[in-house]
Amino acid sequence: MFRRTFWFTAGAAAGVWATTKVNRKLKQLTPESLAARTADKAVEAGHRLKDFALDIKSGMAQREAELNDVLGIDGSEPRELPAQRRLVALETPSQQHTKQQHPHTKHSYDRNEDH
């Protein structure tokens, strides 16, 4: 009698355990749960990227300070660009485009020209 009671109780406990486990897994796989988990991962990745960008920015500032010290440049006074660069920087994008000449503009691209 005790053996039957033991095995009945063990089977019932295993059934409850398995049902609970399956229901939890099904809740994890619902579209709402998947969307929430994906959103959490995206926010976490955004925080990691932000931290990475801040680390890069601080490293760049540190390296720039080191280079300025080595080169003897004081960062307080602004430096002027050379005259040619100043002129190019002041030009509008349309003026810069018209100055660029393509090396192949002297040749015709009409493929029917030879036929």
pLDDT tens column, 62-108: 999 999 999 888 866 666 656 666 566 666 666 655 555 555 555 55
Determine the pLDDT at residue 106: 58
What's the CA gap between 38 and 86, in Å, rounded?
Answer: 49
Q: Which amino acid is at 44?
A: E
Looking at residue 102, the DSSP 8-state letter turns out to be -
Q: Extract the tokens encoding 93.
A: 């994008």
| pLDDT, the chain, mean | 81
The H or E element that residue 60 is part of is helix 31-71
At residue 69's C-alpha, the angle toward residues 65 and 73, to 5°, is: 95
What's the CA gap between 26 and 109, in Å, rounded?
Answer: 63
pLDDT tens column, 4-55: 999 999 999 999 999 999 999 998 889 999 999 999 999 999 999 999 999 9
Determine the pLDDT at residue 2: 87
**Of all residues in the chain, what percent are helix, strand and coil, respectively (each to 5)?**
70, 0, 30
Q: Extract the tokens encoding 56.
A: 């890069």
27 in Cβ contact with 33 (< 8 Å) = yes
pTM for this predicted structure: 0.45
